[in-house]
Amino acid sequence: MNETAQTTRTTELATFGAGCFWGVEAEFRALPGVIEATSGYLGGTLANPTYEQVCSNRTGHAEVVQVRYDPALISYERLLDTFWRMHDPTQLNRQGPDVGSQYRSAIFYHTPEQRAIAESSKAAEQASDRYRRPIVTEITPASTFYPAEEYHQRYFEKHGISCKVH
């Protein structure tokens, strides 16, 4: 009898909003220890929203990336460090040319431990000399995550756009 050793990988979820999800997804996907990064919508009131509905700025959803990661290979703190450096957390409801609450800076925590780590990380970022304005990043419990339409997934990869990890 031939037995195959199976390894069970323990993974965790982290969810971030940092503007348009295309670049956010690509940056997280490039990190060693990230198993999957999925563009989607979270934090709103409408079930199964479409991109057009989210862009109407009436559903309350944020464009987010849900990251499945292996905590033995990458820490939640490292994900947060990447999050802070990939966008401007002092801009309220916008990132660059994208304007609206769907582009808000947000950390959606999945556990009380993530909440505590995120709050501590935000406080440390604010205390640093990196920002001239207050950080407006919201830290809220994760609710139902809705994956974005297929054409949004791996957008940079599909269109030959490279991404530099900070």
Query: Where in the sequence numbering do the catalytic residues fall?
Result: 20
Beta-carbon count within 10 A of 135 CB: 18
CA distance 91 to 100: 11
| 3-state per-residue secondary structure call for 91-122 | CCCEECCEECHHHCEEEEECCHHHHHHHHHHH
Contact assessment for residue 105 and residue 126, using Cβ atoms and an 8 Å cutoff:
no
- The distance between the two most distant Cα atoms of the chain, rounded to a whole number of Å, is 66
Write the CB contacts of 156 (distance below 8 Å, at least 6 apart in sequence): 22, 23, 25, 26, 162, 163
